[in-house]
A and B are shown apart, each in its own frame.
Chain A
């Protein structure tokens, strides 16, 4: 059969002639053949679809990003009379704030906090538990190079929040608009049927969603928020550039030796990977240590004392320094101080760790991914389904929240103009805006990860000088902070 893979509802023509030729061949000829037929043939689809309930938007995936998307739409004024559905495979969880901290935390940027407060969830987060931080110190294990970020007015740079707290806050706001947003717990979508882009025959123009228990839904727009192994993305046959890092992340909840004004986020780049200490309270911090798979399993199984010692020595020891690099770095620093007297910073030491919460050690693999397209006709990808990054920059969930803010803005405008919500016109605008922002950030994070994964002198020298120079240039640092806090 004419390969359905060739039929893409989006014109991809980078060169005009091929587009003209394809157009001349008449994509209309391919259309009836190229549509993706699922369980039933088109003829009987009509009778089935008239029974399946029709939603304006279906969000597939009830994680932090999916739930926040549904909540943002549900609270939008122009969606007041629309029907939204959220599909979540897991069961509904009632959340009660436990004494101990969860080991899965996220760094929430000010931009994400603004999004969460736009539908009233940020207040719940603050009432539950969150820790603002004002400074970030990032330094190298192989040299004295250091860079610190802080806002001029010493305002909060970001917030460390447990993922469970975010979920609970968003769920509360979802309940508040239960008349508009219907949440399907325990519902996994197993199949999607895509419509033809411009239907002129009697086939349904909506996306058909088939759930595991046999129920069917129809929707005008399907939003895929189902994580980096997105089923929506796979079913839509959107190409994904992905790469598994040879690293895993070890997370744990740590207790500090002594109470301190814990409002700094620390990150040190070891040759094996970055280790980060994120403040949770004056006495507790969260650990995110990206390292090789072998080392990660070692860390997981070793006893508490050895684990704590490894962490402290990772932050404090200078065993990776070489005289050559130190000399070169010192020379560069004195040169900089001639040009810019205030441009060098003194390296501070992070607080020492005394204890680790039992049962709080966990490991998860790391990878990078980026979908070549975020949208198709009646489909949009957000969050990890569209892009997956290394945690070294603390950007993962913030990129997802940024997607939500942008997509909600465009959908709201489309709804206020009476437009078809699944129309590619505004979906493409969302994609362009987000790809412009995301691609450079994802590439930069990947580059940083590779640059800091080595202890080869030339690269260490390069990154040492680069880091020192960047630290000496406030405008550049401000740009970086502004970009990352969106």
Chain B
């Protein structure tokens, strides 16, 4: 890595550390990323024979166990990288600081959209009575605020360390411990038992790591109640997102651990919209998001060239939808849970 890049990264981190609370850690890259393999935050990885297999031993046993549970798409190298960071979820100045500060815009977005859909508002508990599925919940960064607002949240993540970190963090707050349930597994695994059980599905910073996006969307649509909402935040596939999202964010400024993202897997909103329409979900809102590394905060912008958030509603005859949707024939396709994924 260029020495200049390292200095700039230290500069940005130090600036970020000054404006918020300290107690933070120093350079994470050197300690926790000995090799530059592709990190998959949700654990939904694709088989990538091209990435060099690094010789980190110790977790091979865990990895073999994971492979044998017939999860649809697991890359052992990715899982291992993620395991190394599993204890860093709740350090607000650590590797996940950008995700922590993203709560400042994504939680109000979800909350206000759900409130506007007309559910009865209980004072002090805006999301009371709403069942939410947080796909790729990681350490529970988004599940906890939603739980505090009154929702019943189910968080799923394929990596057991993440679920353990999430469980441990919520255990100290009895209210949250009751409202949030974490499960280790992939979306495909829970589809059969949870058809049409959730009012809201949140897939934040997940779809850019998913192997088979089409199947992912299909499963989301299946577990969502008719008239339910789907919230997705992800990164667009543009030149600008390559420059800012990969080059600057990972290599230069160290906002995101290196190797986290792969530009090939970024999803343009048009493609997401196409897939959603194909699964009887209509897109209601698409908003661009921008991260300011100096202040460490996110803001809404017009352009969706880099990050964006999307809200879609599954068609159905529920009274929750503000527009009258035509009754659609419910597609009764079986979601094949076998690993029929391709790179």
On chain B, the number of residues with a Cβ less than 8 Å from chain A's Cβ atoms is 45
Q: In the complex, are the beta carbons of B174 and A54 less than 8 A apart?
A: yes
**Interface flag for A200 (CB, 8 Å):** yes
Query: Are B108 and A23 in contact, with the CB atoms below 8 A?
Result: no
Q: Give CA–CA (A54, B103) in the complex, Å.
A: 24
The verdict on B47 contacting chain A, using a C-beta distance below 8 Å, is no
> Closest approach, in angstroms, between the C-beta of B50 and any C-beta of chain A?
34
Q: Are A419 and B23 in contact, with the CB atoms below 8 A?
A: no
> Contact between B26 and A23 (Cβ–Cβ < 8 Å)?
yes
Contact between A198 and B20, CB atoms less than 8 A apart: no
Note all chain B residues with C-beta closer than 8 A to A200: 87-88, 90-91, 165
Indicate if the CB atoms of A198 and B103 lie closer than 8 Å. no
Closest approach, in angstroms, between the C-beta of A121 and any C-beta of chain B? 21
Report if A24-B27 is in contact (Cβ < 8 Å); known contacts: A10-B22, A16-B18. yes
Q: Given A200-B90, A202-B168, A424-B21, verify A81-B125 contact (CB < 8 Å).
A: yes
Q: Quick check: is B134 within 8 A (CB to CB) of the other chain?
A: no
Q: A17 to nearest B CB, angstroms? A: 8
User: Is the beta-carbon distance between A80 and B22 smaller than 8 angstroms?
Assistant: no
**In the complex, are the beta carbons of B11 and A197 less than 8 A apart?**
no
CB-based contact A13/B14 at 8 Å: yes
With A25-B26, A27-B25, A204-B172 given, is the CB distance from A78 to B124 under 8 Å? yes
Which single member of A19, A82, A205, A377 contacts B17 (CB below 8 Å)?
A19
User: Nearest B residue to A376 by beta-carbon distance?
Assistant: B21
Cβ–Cβ contact B26 & A24, under 8 A: yes
Residue among A20, A24, A199, A418 with most chain B CB within 10 A: A418
**Residues of the B chain whose Cβ atoms lie less than 8 Å from the Cβ of A20:** 10-11, 13-14, 26
Contacting residues, chain B, for A10 (C-beta < 8 A): 21-23
Q: Is the CB of A13 within 8 A of B172?
A: no
Which residue in chain A gives the minimum CB-CB distance to B165? A200
Interface string of A75-90 (1 = CB under 8 A from B): 0011111100000000
Cβ contact within 8 Å between B20 and A424: yes
Cβ of B132 to closest chain A Cβ, rounded Å: 12
Q: Does B258 contact A (CB under 8 A)?
A: no
Contact residues of A between 191 and 208, Cβ < 8 Å to B: 196-200, 202, 204-206
Q: How far is the CA of A221 from the CA of B273 in the complex (A)?
A: 43
- A23–B27 Cα distance when bound, in Å, is 8
Residue of B nearest to A79 (CB): B124
Residue of B nearest to A198 (CB): B91
Within the complex, which residue of A31, A80, A204, A425 is in contact with B124, where a contact is CB–CB below 8 Å?
Answer: A80
Indicate if the CB atoms of A198 and B23 lie closer than 8 Å.
yes
Cβ contacts under 8 Å, A466 to chain B: none
Interface size on A, residues (CB 8 A): 46
Known A-B contacts A11-B17, A23-B13, A27-B23; the reply to A206 vs B124 at CB < 8 A is no
Contact between A26 and B20, CB atoms less than 8 A apart: no
Q: Looking across the interface, which residue of chain A has its beta carbon closest to that of B87?
A: A200
Determine if A12 and B148 form an interchain contact, defined as CB atoms under 8 angstroms apart. Answer: no
**Who on chain B is nearest to A375 by CB?**
B21
User: Which of A77, A197, A204 lies at the interface centre, i.e. has the most chain B CB atoms within 10 A of its CB?
Assistant: A197
B residues in contact with A202, CB < 8 Å: 168
Tell me the B1-23 residues at the A interface (CB within 8 Å). 10-11, 13-15, 17-23
Q: How far is the CB of A165 from chain B (nearest CB, A)?
A: 30
Which residues in A have their C-beta under 8 angstroms from that of B14?
Answer: 13, 16-17, 19-20, 23
Q: How far is the CA of A78 from the CA of B148 in the complex (A)?
A: 11
CA A206 to CA B104, docked complex, whole Å: 22
User: Does B118 sit at the interface, judged by CB under 8 A?
Assistant: no
CB of A362 closer than 8 Å to a CB of B? no
Chain-A contact segment, one of B52-60, B139-147, B236-244, B278-286? B139-147
B173 sits at the interface (CB 8 A): yes
Q: Please name 15 further chain A to chain B contacts, defined as beta carbons within 8 Å, in addition to the given A11-B18, A16-B15, A196-B23, sorted by A numbering.
A: A9-B22, A10-B21, A10-B22, A11-B24, A22-B22, A23-B25, A27-B23, A82-B124, A198-B23, A198-B93, A205-B172, A418-B147, A418-B148, A419-B107, A419-B148
Would you give 13 A-B contacts (Cβ < 8 Å), ordered by A? A11-B21, A11-B24, A13-B18, A19-B17, A23-B14, A54-B173, A77-B124, A78-B124, A199-B90, A205-B172, A420-B144, A425-B92, A428-B20
Complex A-B, nearest 5 residue pairs according to Cβ-Cβ distance, in ascending order: A11-B22, A80-B124, A418-B145, A197-B23, A424-B21
A binding-site residues for B, Cβ under 8 Å = 8-14, 16-17, 19-20, 22-28, 31, 54, 77-82, 196-200, 202, 204-206, 377, 415-420, 423-425, 428
